[in-house]
Structure 1
Amino acid sequence: MELKYVGLSEINGPLVVLDNVKDVAFDEIAQIRLSDGTRRLARVVEVEQQRAVLQVFEGTKGLSLTNTTTRFSGKPMELGLSKEMLGRIFSGSGRPIDGLGDIIPEKFKDINGSPLNPVSRTYPRNYINTGISSIDALMTLIRGQKLPIFSGSGLSHNKLAVQIARQAKIADDNGQGFGIVFGAMGVKNDVADYFKRSFEETGALERVAMFINLSNDPIIERILTPRCALTCAEYLAFEHNMHILVILTDMTSYAEACREFSSSKGEIPGRKGYPGYLYSDLASIYERAGIVKGSTGSVTQIPILTMPNDDITHPVPDLTGYITEGQIVMDRHLEQTGTYPAVAVLPSLSRLMKDGIGEGYTREDHSMCANQLFAAYSKVQDARALASVIGEEELSQGDKAYMHFGKLFEEYFINQGFDVNRSIEETLDLGWALLSTLPRAELDRVDDEHLDKYYDPDKAKAMFQ
């Protein structure tokens, strides 16, 4: 027998309270019917004896305490899934908003994901080629990895997200498909239009499933957006054996929605007002990346977050750094000098990179080339610091060589056009050409065999004169 509850005990922001309810579970979905016949979805966020607190997805405006009817579904929120989702655009809660009609679901799955036994995970290997030299060479994205981008307000992270989504590919030697699931949270209308237009113009939309939550949409939907996106990704990866890259922007908007929701529930705030469970909440999203035994597909995540005041110790980037396997950090100074993408090389890293590059994956010299580029660029920073004190004219010949290398490295290697898509071979060859501008004795991270093969000062002189 299905029970309908008439009336509400309390309305508080996006929350409503019902008393004297029975057999209601946490995270259960309910349907609220207004007096004019319209329906809204809600989710149970707190249960205390016979009292239930519900979070209304479309907001509580227009709700009445007396003649509102609530019906519980007996199950958590589920998303209808189909391979047809690729090439489609959805709202943050998974409703089609591209005017192409509803999809015909092949199955329904809980958006919170299924519990995954850690033993059933496979260690991530092999890489995804983004076509961006600084990422592919120095902080390689490995299939099944979660590698966030730490950016700042006003930096070109949206542009970088579009370029990665447009260019990313794998070595498709087994005939396996590759797709993108793109989740945008709390974005403005012009940013959402930019994402749609960019994918449509380049033809990339055919392999992209987009979930868009606008800044004027309810915060409740913002909390659902990454979970809907990841449910779609898991279905395509583990049931259709596809390699899925999930790009989520902006995780700071998501965390602020969690903070606002937590505050409306009257919970005791943690650091900077964020809820104390923010770490576990973020982990429930990030840990849905990976490779599962028995499936040849993979879910790889690139969450993008903006750091308030460029503060990398802010709770959102700080907690994200603990959960994920590295980070790509955007640099405001490089952005201001016209460098794109403005990737700060030294604070960026990929912790899984060492196991997904080299012979059989990228090229046998990749590791040595990357190590030497890191070492050389770190000495560039030392030389620049010294030059700021004593002047560039007073530097030794070695320091001047590093200053010259740093200028070329930022101009030719980090700086890359929005439409430039480099293969891994082109990227590594460019890295060796830049290293060849330094004296051979300075290249102490490379063995003689590879130096004999790749060190070529004449080629470098011709390329960078």
Structure 2
Amino acid sequence: MSLSGAIEYTHVGELRGPLAIVEGVSGVGWDEYVRITLASGERRHGVVLDADRDRAVVQVLEGTAGMDPEGVRAAFTGSPLRVPVGTDWLGRVCNGRGEPLDGGPPVLGSHTAEVGGAPLNPVRREPPSEPVLTGVGAVDALTTLVRGQKLPVFSVAGLPHLELAAQIAAQATTVGEAFSVVFAGMGLTHADASFVRDALEARSAAGELVLLLNTADDPVIERILTPRIALTVAEHLAFAEARHVLVVMTDMTTYAEALREVSAARGEIPARRAYPGYLYSDLASLYERCGRLRGRPGSVTVLPVLTMPAGDITHPVPDLTGYITEGQIVLSPETHARGVYPPLDALSSLSRLMRKGAGPGRTRDDHLDVAAQLLAALARVRQVRDLADLVGQAALSPTDRRYLDFEEAFLRDFIDQRSDEPRALDASLERGWRALLTLPRSQLSMLPARLLDAHGAKGLDEPDHPGHPDDLDHLDHLDGLGGEGSR
């Protein structure tokens, strides 16, 4: 017997990757926490992945490297893996298993909670209604994040998604209420982990941040555990400590690849692109742990970041993530190539809950109107560029050329901002107005007349309005080319 009273089993039949097959067991259940002692006295930890008759498949969190089946003792605790929870996590930097990396003592708490957790009961969910302001102007204005929402960032390798995730984690806030951030990094290089620590140092020092860093050379099993620990800590901070918590998880594609690796080691039949058939339910078990609970203070908002292999949005990870979540923020290689940060693809981005958390009484009265007009103008820009490819820019109408001017103002003045610059929503909306006012008033049909008057919108032919003096009536020769701006 071990000191804790659990039976220790010594017959480890096989080591397979991160898995240990323990034989001769009885009364062992799925997801049970295991304490493993090596012959040298070293302690490791594991979780039961599968139990069948007298055999248990244990995933070793620290990996099986250096383990000799002879002399290994496995003690099954009879309960799932639990971690301490509470405000002691705030200001700490830990690895993916929750062990300190900052030189401090182990994180303690008056309570412990199961790492596996559970999705929120839909019946007890409170509808989202208040914004989380990220300090990134384009995100706050066009794809507003709402408390309790799950809004992923879709990116491609080589784009600054980690910089954007760190910037949001450093700047995000809610007005007048206790706010915390839990940042879970998975499969990071040491350089990336160092960058994240530096970028979030101020927020950590203020006691508003929990930082979990899993690096690429850490055991693959730890990568599967990292987001679960992050969400477990966040749930307690939100629903027991009355805080609004933003959980940033990057990179979920790395997480899914770790899941695929463990599935292959278990000998499971693969599904699409060799990912396990339960990838959808596994991702949902993470994403659906966010929200607001009726009768409870606080909220958990989730911002997962994932890279699309080869930019393929139909890849299983972004595809399934899109089904589960409430919109997406898409980063564009083309915008990045033009030197714009963050390289947001505004037309592909969407926040399905934006109308619940933006507009009169929540952000600004003109917020939704300005956002809608900006997106409508961008859609017209895409048509104008297609037309220019056919006939050349010289043949475009004055209105069409104004749309090209608008695009430049949109990218350079509205979207572009420094990665260390927090931008207030009011400032972002005013920049949006400046971009829109490069267009003639007749093109701003989604904005009420009172707002146009207040901002001094002018017609195309008014002399004090910058632009081309040509009149649209002289451009009938373009009518047959199919561009809306030529009519």
TM range (shorter): over 0.9
2:290 matched residue in structure 1? 289
1:400 matched residue in structure 2? 401
Please tell me the root mean square deviation across aligned C-alpha atoms, in Å: 1.6
Give unpaired runs (5+ residues) of structure 1: none
Is 1:51 the counterpart of 2:55? The answer is yes
Q: Percent identity?
A: 45
Q: 1:352-394 CA distances to partner (integer Å, 9 max, x unpaired)?
A: 0011111110011111111100000110111111112211011
The equivalences for 1:36-115 within 5 A come to 36-114=40-118
Contact kept in structure 1, 2:7 and 2:75, CA below 8 Å: yes
Instruction: For residue 455 of structure 1, report the CA deviation from its aligned partner.
Output: 4.1
Task: Name the aligned partner's letter for residue 208 of structure 2.
Answer: R
Q: Distance in 1 between matches of 2:344 and 2:138?
A: 7
Contact kept in structure 1, 2:157 and 2:307, CA below 8 Å: yes
Instruction: For residue 2 of structure 1, report the CA deviation from its aligned partner.
Output: 3.1
Flag the 1:388–1:130 CA change in 2: closer, same or farther, 3 A.
Answer: same
Instruction: For residue 204 of structure 1, report the CA deviation from its aligned partner.
Output: 6.0
Q: Distance in 1 between matches of 2:337 and 2:120?
A: 44
Contact kept in structure 1, 2:119 and 2:290, CA below 8 Å: no
1:280 matched residue in structure 2? 281
Higher Rg:
2
Task: Name the aligned partner's letter for residue 83 of structure 2.
Answer: L
Is 1:16 the counterpart of 2:20? The answer is yes
Q: Distance in 1 between matches of 2:349 and 2:394?
A: 31
Q: Distance in 2 between matches of 1:461 and 1:11?
A: 75
1:426 matched residue in structure 2? 427
1:221 matched residue in structure 2? 222
1:164 matched residue in structure 2? 168
Contact kept in structure 1, 2:85 and 2:113, CA below 8 Å: yes
Aligned to 1:291, what secondary structure does the other structure show? coil
Q: Distance in 1 between matches of 2:48 and 2:275?
A: 21
Flag the 1:461–1:197 CA change in 2: closer, same or farther, 3 A.
Answer: farther
Q: Distance in 2 between matches of 1:277 and 1:401?
A: 50
TM-score by length of 1: 0.96
Q: Distance in 2 between matches of 1:198 and 1:205?
A: 13
Contact kept in structure 1, 2:142 and 2:346, CA below 8 Å: yes
Task: Name the aligned partner's letter for residue 287 of structure 2.
Answer: Y
Instruction: For residue 103 of structure 1, report the CA deviation from its aligned partner.
Output: 2.5
Q: Distance in 1 between matches of 2:6 and 2:182?
A: 37
Is 1:153 the counterpart of 2:154? The answer is no
Q: Distance in 1 between matches of 2:308 and 2:414?
A: 25
Instruction: For residue 202 of structure 1, report the CA deviation from its aligned partner.
Output: 6.7
2:475 matched residue in structure 1? none
The equivalences for 1:15-414 within 5 A come to 15-114=19-118, 116-172=120-176, 176-200=177-201, 206-414=207-415
Q: Distance in 2 between matches of 1:204 and 1:4?
A: 42
Contact kept in structure 1, 2:24 and 2:55, CA below 8 Å: yes
Task: Name the aligned partner's letter for residue 215 of structure 1.
Answer: A
Contact kept in structure 2, 1:79 and 1:228, CA below 8 Å: yes
Contact kept in structure 1, 2:374 and 2:436, CA below 8 Å: yes
Task: Name the aligned partner's letter for residue 24 of structure 1.
Answer: V
Q: Distance in 2 between matches of 1:72 and 1:152?
A: 42
Q: Distance in 2 between matches of 1:288 and 1:179?
A: 16
Flag the 1:411–1:63 CA change in 2: closer, same or farther, 3 A.
Answer: same
Aligned to 1:206, what secondary structure does the other structure show? coil
Q: Distance in 2 between matches of 1:263 and 1:196?
A: 33
